[in-house]
Structure 1
Amino acid sequence: MASAAVDGMRETLPPERRMGRIFVELADTLTDDFDIMDYLDNLACHGAEVPGVSACAVLLADPVGPLSIVAASSESARAVGVNQLRHQEGPSLQAYQTCAPVCCTDLKAALPRWPHYAPVALAAGFAAVHAFPLCWQGQAVGAFSLLRAAAGRLDVPAAERAGDLAEAAAIGLLHRRTVRHHESLTRQLQVALNSRVLIEQAKGMLAGYLRLTPDQAFTLMRDYARAHHLKLTALSRALLHGEITLPAPSRE
């Protein structure tokens, strides 16, 4: 996934060039060292960078089953995503099932529509949500939710950018599945689930040891992984085994 050097390069590029780099990144799913959790976490971060968006949660489906994997740009967004899976209710599920965007400009008004999802999203500090399917030519592989702290809808350029991100990710993931059809899809899903468990364990350990919030611990891990060209899963395993020690971030 994106290295620190590439991240730095993107920051200095004009917006249209930077978006081009992101789309290339999302299309690059056939490398031998492809890591699904790195990919989804990067997609969540790109979603959270859409103007007007506070956080992003990505839900991925098993090709032979339901939505089952959550990646997110923050802990609050992750909790909202997990809630959708637990209760099988919410905008990402609807976007995935219909292969169409779902827009809710006021979550308070959506309490009758989503009695489990809406209260959790509101309690997490979100007031509106836009969900986009990861869908290409009628094939859906997941969906992502763009969560807003303020009620209202995304403006047209922001919504178009979000739709483009979702489409690019869907094409990349479907292409990988087509080319790698001989691999066990169930095994791929289990690898992704195992990776998420490792990442969560390492994040919790780091948060406790350095007295950080889960969000701060994950940011520290992601920044270190990118700076040292490591996969998040590999870094998490090394942290849990005591092979790598991360310094506490500056509190200035």
Structure 2
Amino acid sequence: MKSFTRLIGTSVLSLVALCLVLTAAMPLFAAEGEFKTVSSEVLRDMLEEKRAFTLVDARTSDEYQVAHLVGAISIPDKEFDKHVALLPKDKGALIVLYCNGVKCGKSKKVAAKAREAGYTNLVIYPDGFPVWEEKGYPIVAGAEYARKIETTKFSPAQLKQILAEKKDAYVLVDVRDEFEFAEGHIQGAINIPAETFAAKSGVLPKEKGIIVYCNSGGRSYSAYRKLMKLAYPSIFQAILAEWKEAGFPVVKSQL
């Protein structure tokens, strides 16, 4: 019986050891489309562990000046030839590129130009700056980073008219928590909580106007700023408290 127990124990230990080996051997980068990709968490670890690679911000130079990932160099798509000398001389060196999220194509455009220039080890960070910032990972913030912006707001009457006459041209987003949304929201709204807004913004079409609202304006202001960084062209804000004060209805839903 003791021999059997020892055998089982040895087998379990061997299985655990095998799992650890396989986990250690797992690739850092996922295969996706024409370029490999890296997750936010893996990129964070790479930076914390000071691994050898070049991090490229493919957004505009103005966006880079406002804020960028720690250690990133700026090589905008339209200025590639001007800044290509910033890339490593070793054409096989690892280069990670990012821009403004999953619907931003600038990082892929710069990667394509780098590939044409002979670079072979190119990886895209698809979540981009907005998700990195949303997760609270380290950034370098410029003087303009905290500058307050003026949002384009819809009054309750304007919003009601839009929902009645032009609802197909807009997406209404409630950025409050899920339980708040369930307790009462504007008919037709979808729920994307503010704290994970950038990470889940891929469902929002850029060809439509995006209207964000919360109860008093704080969280929808945050979502509005994230939409700006994600390069959405048509963004609006509304206030749920004002909607209710105007006597307009809300609907409940199941959690």
- TM-score, scaled to structure 1: 0.26
The structure that is helix-richer by fraction is 1
Larger Cα Rg: Structure 1 or Structure 2?
2
- TM-score, scaled to structure 2: 0.26
Higher RCO (C-alpha under 8 Å, 6+ residues apart):
1
